[in-house]
Amino acid sequence: ATGDKRAALGLAGIAIRAGARSTLATLWQVNDASTAEFMNQFYQQLNNPQLTKAEALRNAQLAFLKKKYPNTDYHRPHIWAPFILVGNWL
């Protein structure tokens, strides 16, 4: 990977090079339970045809940040911040 500027993209970069138009990746290891809920929230948002993928991601992150999930630590940045959209974000 030395000299390859795309190497930092990891598995997301591999998916893009394999033909995926976009992929949702994380910058660090994440909790399974909170990630499952995050993905549920993301796909609910993505189901709205008026939103781009980037807006769906932002809305999912805001739902976690604004404590939509009481009695959890989902509002903490280490839960919602590692998710990034790579590739076509429209």
Q: Which residues contact 57 (CB under 8 A, 6 or more apart)?
A: 24, 42, 45, 83, 85
In a domain, 61, yes or no: yes
Higher pLDDT, 38 or 27: 38
Look at residue 83 and give its three-state secondary structure.
strand
What range does the domain containing 9 cover?
Answer: 1-26
In a domain, 54, yes or no: yes
Eight-class DSSP state of 26: E
Residues 35, 18, single domain; the answer is: no
pTM recorded for the entire structure: 0.83
Q: What is the CA radius of gyration of the chain?
A: 14
Residues 62, 46, single domain; the answer is: yes
pLDDT band at 34 (very low <50, low <70, confident <90, very high): very high
Q: Is the pLDDT of residue 47 over 80?
A: yes
Q: Is the pLDDT of residue 20 over 90?
A: no
Residues 39, 62, single domain; the answer is: yes
CA 11, 30, 9 angle in degrees (round to 5)? 25
